[in-house]
């Protein structure tokens, strides 16, 4: 008598669906994680102190201490300064993206993200998109305070909105530098310190406070090749009047170039670290 043993067929293993196999997977996941960043901001509104108080402090210091000496009139200097302060403030606000991301990495939050069926780059994209609200808040506060002390638009509302959007787009590109630092650095303090070392020469090494022709020759050369100076010139032209086509074109080219270089580097560094 023989016994026949039948082996039950092993059911095929099912794997989690790949994020890139779903339509618009990266966009949906990135927006979901951007919502997480917004919730963090709403629950801890003190994170917005730097983008609300900093522009006000800069305007007060520069206009009321230097305006009369540089332009002969505090009002005239306010018209010259405020568009450039807008660019500087939004760029400084982009540092928080790398700091927040580094904090999440150190706390192990991104370890949880790796276990989810989402695109590897979604947490990075979501972090950058979620911080766009900081840029909008800083611009609104700056213009509100500027109008309270006498600033007025010299062109039209549509051009002013275009200047704000151009500034936000450039800050979005610079945020990817912060993301790269956030992935590479070991602590949030290191991210913030390194980012300031990068941004200070870019923002203050411009014609933000004085006209370019009053600067020494070597600094005039630096202003001529500095992408932040192009964004400031474009913002001035769109808000108070002046040349627009050249500065706007160069600003857009710089924006695309920075994203094209630093976004892939940030995603690659994150994948290696993850």
pLDDT, residue 157, reads 93
Are 237 and 168 in contact, with CB atoms under 8 Å apart?
Answer: no
225 within a domain of the structure (yes/no):
yes
Write out the chain in H/E/C secondary structure.
Answer: CCCCCCCCCCCCCCCCCCHHHCCCHHHHHHHHHHHHHHHHHHHCHHHHHHHHHHHHHHHHHHHHHHHHHHHCCHHHHHHHHHHHHHHHHHHHHCHHHHHHHHHHHHHCHHHHHHCCCCCCCHHHHHHHHHCHHHHHHHHHHHHHHHHHCCCCCCCCHHHHHHHHHHHHHHHHHHHHHHHHHHHHCCCHHHHHHHHHHHHHHHHHCCCCCCCHHHCCHHHHHHHHHCHHHHHHHHHHHHHCCCCCHHHHHHHHHHHHHHHHHHHHHHHHHHHHHC
pLDDT, residue 123, reads 74
37 within a domain of the structure (yes/no):
no
Share of the chain above pLDDT 90, in %: 38
54 within a domain of the structure (yes/no):
yes
**Residue 6 confidence (pLDDT) above 70:** no
20-34, 40-54, 83-97: lowest mean pLDDT where?
20-34
60 within a domain of the structure (yes/no):
yes
Give the range of the structural domain holding residue 60, as residue numbers without chain letter: 46-273
* pLDDT averaged over every residue in the chain: 82
Q: Which has more confidence, 159 or 243?
A: 159
pLDDT, residue 25, reads 64
Buried b / exposed e over 31-70, threshold 16 CB at 10 Å, is: eebbeebeeebeeeeebbebbbebbbebbeebbeeebeeb
**Residue 60 confidence (pLDDT) above 70:** yes
pLDDT, residue 17, reads 45
pLDDT, residue 228, reads 95
Domain count, the chain: 1
**Residue 108 confidence (pLDDT) above 80:** no
33 within a domain of the structure (yes/no):
no
pLDDT, residue 179, reads 87
13-17, 64-68, 127-131: lowest mean pLDDT where?
13-17
171 within a domain of the structure (yes/no):
yes
Kindly compute the dihedral angle of the four CA atoms of residues 75, 76, 78, 81, in this order, to the nearest 10 degrees: -170
239 within a domain of the structure (yes/no):
yes
pLDDT digits (tens, 9 = 90+) for 132-187: 888 888 899 999 999 999 999 999 999 999 999 999 999 999 999 988 998 888 88
Share of the chain above pLDDT 70, in %: 81
Mean pLDDT for 55-76 is 87
pLDDT, residue 66, reads 85
pLDDT, residue 183, reads 85
Q: Nearest CA to 250 among 227, 272, 268?
A: 227
10 within a domain of the structure (yes/no):
no
pLDDT, residue 3, reads 47
**Residue 91 confidence (pLDDT) above 70:** yes
49-53, 58-62, 182-186, 212-216: lowest mean pLDDT where?
49-53
pLDDT, residue 120, reads 66
The model carries a pTM of 0.82
């Amino acid at each position: 008598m023989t016994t026949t043993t039948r082996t039950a067929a092993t059911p095929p293993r099912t794997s989690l669906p790949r994020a890139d196999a779903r339509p618009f997977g990266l966009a949906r996941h990135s927006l979901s994680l951007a919502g997480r960043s917004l919730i963090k901001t709403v629950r801890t509104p003190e994170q917005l102190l730097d983008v609300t108080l900093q522009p006000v402090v800069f305007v007060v210091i520069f206009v009321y201490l230097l305006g009369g000496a540089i332009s002969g009139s505090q009002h005239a200097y306010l018209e010259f300064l405020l568009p450039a302060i807008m660019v500087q403030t939004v760029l400084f606000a982009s540092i928080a993206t790398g700091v927040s991301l580094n904090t999440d990495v150190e706390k192990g939050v991104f370890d949880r993200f790796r276990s989810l069926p989402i695109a590897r780059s979604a947490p990075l994209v979501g972090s950058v998109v979620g911080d766009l609200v900081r840029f909008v808040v800083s611009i609104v506060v700056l213009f509100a305070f500027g109008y309270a002390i006498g600033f007025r638009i010299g062109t039209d509302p549509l051009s002013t909105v275009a200047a704000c959007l151009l500034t936000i787009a450039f800050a979005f590109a610079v945020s990817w530098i912060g993301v790269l630092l956030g992935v590479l650095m070991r602590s949030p303090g290191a991210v913030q310190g390194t980012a300031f070392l990068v941004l200070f020469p870019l923002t203050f090494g411009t014609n933000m406070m004085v006209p370019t022709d009053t600067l020494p020759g070597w600094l005039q050369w630096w202003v001529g090749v500095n992408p932040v100076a192009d964004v400031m010139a474009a913002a001035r032209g769109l808000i108070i009047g002046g040349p627009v086509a050249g500065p706007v074109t160069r600003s857009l080219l710089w924006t695309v170039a920075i994203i094209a270089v630093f976004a892939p580097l940030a995603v690659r560094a994150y994948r290696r670290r993850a």
